[in-house]
């Protein structure tokens, strides 16, 4: 996919309804041959629209108008391209915990959480947040996630008991480091004020009780992390919006390693087609994007639910036959 095609797809399918400013900017980039040539000098994975916009915001550049945005990017291209080359988008959205929570809560307790692609580890604290599934509220916290539900969602009555929080990432982020926090905030889309507020509250939770975060490859580091899991805990290895950054071979290797380990529960939350062998014919419910959604997978075998990219809606498929 060329730069122009990528940005046009983003502007037409991914950003609409979630960030009007990013949708307009992406479509304008797609029509700008000069700017596309600059972007295409970067390695293909680094040409990502989200990465360009996050780098611009991190540098305090404007994203609310095309003329000002283009002028800033071209004037400061050396700085923008350096950030795009050396960093990756790490939204680390705590709202995604809502998609996993119904599965976590019904496992034998307590649980030990191991996250692949953990970023700053905000998704390692599902027991520290509050959730509203329709009219049902669970937990009490400054971090609140509202979820629109369809299908037979098994809304838990209690939060899981978490006894270990560990993760691995090529570039872990430290929520006590102002530079790291600024980058994570820049990765949140400008109109999503609620997500900004939730990030700040979740970062405070994590800073008060930091997880174990390892620098390393997702697959190669997993055995070392699993060795640290306490006895008598259900080990849950999970990942969310991570496989899109892996090559096809890396995805296959990760799926083979996770799928053959009987000592863990493997949960995934990825875009359709990214987890090898996992697929569903189900489509998002009416009113939700038909192109920007994720599949909640169990063991690499079954799609339990469809969900919004940041956990704002959940369409449960289990026990109604659509996910098999």
Structural domains of the chain, ranges and CATH numbers in brackets: 3-86 (no CATH), 94-316 (3.40.50)
pLDDT, residue 243, reads 94
Mean pLDDT estimate for the chain: 94
Q: Does residue 163 contact residue 233 with C-beta atoms inside 8 Å?
A: yes
Whole-number Cα distances in Å, 233 to 45, 116, 145 = 37, 18, 26
3-state secondary structure (DSSP) of residue 26: helix
Indicate the helix (H) or strand (E) that contains 104: helix 97-105
pLDDT, residue 324, reads 33
Q: What is the pairing mode between strands 111-116 and 234-240?
A: parallel
* % of the chain surpassing 70 pLDDT: 98
Q: Does residue 147 contact residue 131 with C-beta atoms inside 8 Å?
A: yes
Q: What is the CA radius of gyration of the chain?
A: 19
Query: What CA–CA distance (Å, rounded) separates 311 from 306?
Result: 10
- pTM for this predicted structure: 0.90
Q: Does residue 296 contact residue 304 with C-beta atoms inside 8 Å?
A: yes
pLDDT, residue 29, reads 98
pLDDT, residue 289, reads 86
The residue ranges of the chain whose pLDDT is under 70 are 319-324
């Amino acid at each position: 996919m060329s730069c122009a095609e990528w940005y046009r797809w983003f502007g037409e399918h991914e950003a609409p309804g979630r960030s009007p400013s990013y949708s307009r900017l992406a479509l304008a980039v797609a029509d700008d041959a000069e700017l596309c040539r600059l972007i295409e000098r970067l390695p293909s994975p680094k040409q990502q629209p989200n990465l360009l916009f996050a780098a611009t915001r991190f540098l305090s550049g404007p994203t609310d108008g095309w003329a000002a945005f283009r002028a800033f990017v071209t004037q400061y291209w050396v700085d923008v391209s350096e950030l795009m080359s050396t960093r990756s988008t790490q939204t680390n959205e705590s709202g995604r915990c809502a998609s996993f929570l119904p599965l976590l809560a019904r496992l034998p307790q307590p649980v030990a959480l191991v996250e692949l692609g953990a970023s700053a580890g905000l998704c390692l604290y599902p027991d520290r947040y509050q959730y509203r599934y329709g009219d049902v509220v669970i937990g009490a916290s400054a971090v609140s996630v509202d979820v629109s539900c369809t299908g037979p969602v098994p809304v838990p009555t209690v939060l899981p008991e978490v006894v270990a929080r560990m993760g691995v990432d090529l570039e872990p982020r430290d929520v006590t480091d102002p530079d790291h926090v600024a980058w994570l905030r820049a990765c949140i889309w400008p109109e999503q004020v609620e997500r900004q507020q939730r990030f700040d509250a979740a970062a405070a939770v994590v800073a008060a009780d930091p997880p174990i975060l390892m620098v390393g490859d997702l697959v190669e580091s997993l055995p070392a992390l699993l060795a640290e899991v306490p006895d008598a805990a259900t080990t849950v290895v999970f990942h969310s919006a991570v496989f899109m950054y892996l090559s096809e071979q890396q995805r296959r290797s990760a799926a083979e390693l996770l799928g053959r380990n009987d000592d863990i529960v493997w949960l995934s939350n990825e875009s359709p087609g990214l987890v090898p062998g996992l697929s569903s014919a189900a489509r998002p419910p009416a009113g939700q994007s038909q192109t920007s959604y994720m599949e909640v997978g169990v063991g690499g075998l079954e799609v339990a639910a469809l969900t919004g990219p940041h956990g704002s809606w959940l369409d449960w498929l289990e026990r109604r036959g659509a996910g098999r």
